[in-house]
Amino acid sequence: EAGVVQSPRYKIIEKKQPVAFWCNPISGHNTLYWYLQNLGQGPELLIRYENEEAVDDSQLPKDRFSAERLKGVDSTLKIQPAELGDSAVYLCASSLGGDRSQFFGPGTRLTVL
């Protein structure tokens, strides 16, 4: 069974440019999470989806960040415009229903110059 797939793995952009990350969760997993992880720290939740509905986006900086999961499967996280402080690893995770176990993708490492 394939794990959580993320692309791209690495992205380098200049500040003020837009960037998008894509995530395909494990087949059948209805809950999808986007996390931000700074170097040497634990992941911080940005947004959680139950199917296509965003049920917790309180930590998402909505002035520049947006996310969508239109068909309740794969998801896209966008930053526009990117700032220097957005440099981090963006992790996607998925879980199945009431199962608390989350499975993480390899992440996208974003560098904003």
Partner 1 sequence: TQLLEQSPQFLSIQEGENLTVYCNSSSVFSSLQWYRQEPGEGPVLLVTVVTGGEVKKLKRLTFQFGDARKDSSLHITAAQPGDTGLYLCAGDDAGNMLTFGGGTRLMVKP
48 binding partner 1? (CB under 8 A)? yes
Binding to partner 1, residues 54-113 (CB under 8 A): 56, 91, 93, 95, 98, 100-107, 109
Q: In angstroms, rounded to a whole number, what is the distance separating the alpha carbons of residues 23 and 10?
A: 14
Q: Which residues make beta-bridge pairs with 54?
A: 49
Q: Name residue 91's amino acid.
A: L
Interface with partner 1 (CB under 8 A), residue from 2, 42, 53, 70: 42
Q: How far apart are CA 64 and CA 2, in angstroms?
A: 31
Please give the residue ranges that form the binding site for partner 1 (CB under 8 A): 4, 31, 40-45, 48, 50, 56, 91, 93, 95, 98, 100-107, 109
